[in-house]
Structure 1
């Protein structure tokens, strides 16, 4: 049996996810929740702290406890494009291309894409926004031989739609690694964060159904409007 404070937190989380508690709603005072659940103030505070840690509520001294606008979930187990993933969750995605260059790859990028350093690649920097707020700084490298007509216009939209619908290629999988990253001044300015702030860095290499690597991408997640959830099952 779960401890009471976890049961209470789970109850509130379910109500939030089911839309019974909407963003901006103020929760009752701790004393009211104590009476409602028949527990101590310490138990209520432990329950609320779980919700704070998950980004579901915001507690403001002298004001109250409010339901947050839910973060978009990044599903690392299913390969969806940013636009598709965010749109499915009722939020508005947008992208802005900050850099678009045709260049020779570094040795590391060439190895990721199984290319020679004499081959041509595109290097594209995009700022990905949710509801108009910057959330991800993305750096993508793509083989020019696969996408000779790639353009800024394409990259302002959905990269995956271009690959699968316009080019008729089938995306199979993405190999990803996740690690912490300390922001430098330039990237911090794009993400509207203080320099030296810790964020999340996700490196991924995407492969077509034929086994060809079509992209090597590094995403820097601000995590104000995005969260990562990994669900493991045991058979």
Structure 2
């Protein structure tokens, strides 16, 4: 393979590598079910660190292109639906566009150690902390979705330290006011059924269908700023992708 990592590129090494690895799959070099090269082999082939390889593979796992199996390795899988989003609309604006009045109930606002998935998505170190903001989002006073967002505390501590009213405040607008311009995102859409807690919060029977949106948002320098998981009532919400 002739693809190379350009160290003078404004794109991060992990992003360049992700594009190369994704092309290796989309070109048919590796087919669904095939084992994928090890982190060590990829690092040696492209002259990058294993941390860089781990970040790149993590993005492909998030997109559903690869899957990790404990004790076995990494394999090519059938991608789930995901969409590169260039026009971002907040939940608040989305509901207003639908002619509904948005509001929120705060479920959690705290600092914590990130899970491996969040750490990988936000490209954090093991000692870094994240801000967790979980809210029950309402529309016309009825529950619509449970949203949980994680942000790096080192990048935007103001989200946690300042006294924002998260029952009405848009996180997108707060980030914009703090000088963070989110320019793109990758969103994966899937289906699930409600567990007991989700059912209680969304006021639906346990086992009811849900729409799940998982998103990573990026700044202009390809730096991830947040991860967001939205758990929607399937009977009240639809997702339209242009």
TM-score with structure 1 setting the length: 0.62
Cα distance in 2 for partners of 1:131, 1:214 equals 30
Q: Please say if 1:128 is aligned against 2:137.
A: yes
Name structure 2 gaps, 5 residues minimum: 1-84
Sort the Cα spacing of 1:219 and 1:182 in 2 relative to 1 into closer, same or farther, 3 A.
Answer: same
CA distance in 1, matches of 2:221, 2:153: 17
Equivalence for 1:228: 239
Secondary structure of 2:172 counterpart: helix
What SS does structure 1 have at the residue aligned with 2:125? coil
* Rounded Cα–Cα distance in structure 2 between residues aligned with 1:187 and 1:228: 19
Partner SS state of residue 147, structure 1: coil
Corresponding residue for residue 163 of structure 1:
175
Does 1:146 pair with 2:155? yes
Task: State the partner residue of 1:214.
Answer: 225
1:95 CA drift (Å) = 1.3
Deviations 1:194-217 (A, max 9, x none): 111121111000111121111111
* Residue number in structure 2 paired with 1:17: none
Paired with 2:228 and 2:104, the residues of 1 have a C-alpha distance of 15
Aligned length: 155
Partner of 2:95: 86
How many Å separate the matches in 1 of 2:189 and 2:94? 18
Task: Give the distance between the partners of 2:222 and 2:201, measured in 1 at CA.
Answer: 34
1:179 is matched with 190
Tell me the TM-score normalized by structure 2: 0.61
C-alpha spacing 1:198/1:226, structure 2 compared with 1 (3 Å): closer
Task: Determine if contact 1:188/1:195 at 8 Å carries over to the other structure.
Answer: yes
Distance in 2 of aligned mates of 1:153 and 1:181 = 32
Q: Which residue of 1 aligns with 2:30?
A: none
SS at match of 1:227: coil
**Residue 200 of structure 1 pairs with residue 211 of structure 2:** yes
Cα offset, 1:167, TM superposition:
0.5
Which of 181, 201, 219 aligns to 1:190? It is 201
Deviation at 1:183, TM superposition (A): 1.1
Q: Deviations over 1:160-205 (max 9, x none)?
A: 00011x2112111110101111211011100001111121111000
Shift in Å, 1:229: 2.0
Report the Cα distance in structure 1 between the residues aligned to 2:165 and 2:107, rounded to whole angstroms: 13
Asked whether the 8 Å contact 1:92–1:130 carries over to 2, the reply is yes
How much does 1:154 deviate?
Answer: 4.8
Instruction: Select the structure of larger CA radius of gyration.
Output: 1
